[in-house]
Amino acid sequence: MNTENKMSTELHDFEDGNGPVRAARHYNGGGWVACTARVDPSAQVSGDAQVFGNARVYGNARVYDNAQVFGNAQVSGDALVFGNAWVSGDAQVFDNARVYGDTLVSGNAQISGKAWISGDALVFGNAQVYGDALVFGNAWVSGKAQVSGKTQVYGDAQVYGNAWVYGDGR
């Protein structure tokens, strides 16, 4: 855990198949952070949230409730990740984006702007969701798909391949 404030570490099992690793409770919220991950002192990891692997949380970003950020994922800016959401792989959540509920954002996916991902939604591959876009329910966005503007993708909708959904679409 590379923060400016040194904290005592102990073994913690993130239940990712790697067994117990050195970790500490983040001083700004008390969530678990592996020694291999990096969380800025200005960021918050609280509740039962976990940041592990080579994940990074910086800026004023907040990870809380039961959320997990892992792999090489990055959460930054004023982004929020909460509920039971997972951000993994090389995914990035930044700006004022919100990822919550039972969502999964993975691969090289990028969530930015004021976009919200919620419910049981999945965003993966090289997909991008940005602007004021909302992806929720059981919807998923994958491949090189882009969802932007004030678009809403919801229910059981699937946006994939090279699709681009933008504007005020639903």
Q: Above 60 in pLDDT, residue 165?
A: yes
Check whether residue 168 and residue 107 sit in a common domain. yes
Pairing verdict, β 68-69 and 86-87: parallel
Check whether residue 94 and residue 158 sit in a common domain. yes
pLDDT tens-digit series, residues 34-62 = 999 999 999 999 999 999 999 999 999 99
pLDDT tens-digit series, residues 57-94 = 999 999 999 999 999 999 999 999 999 999 999 999 99
Return the pLDDT at 168.
84
Sign of CA dihedral 140, 146, 148, 150: negative
Q: For the domain that residue 149 is a member of, what is the CATH number? A: 2.160.10.10
Check whether residue 31 and residue 106 sit in a common domain. no
Residue 84 falls inside a structural domain = no
Check whether residue 114 and residue 47 sit in a common domain. no
What global pTM score does this model have?
0.94
Domain count across the chain: 2
Question: Which domain does 97 fall in, by range?
Answer: 90-170
Q: Above 50 in pLDDT, residue 154?
A: yes
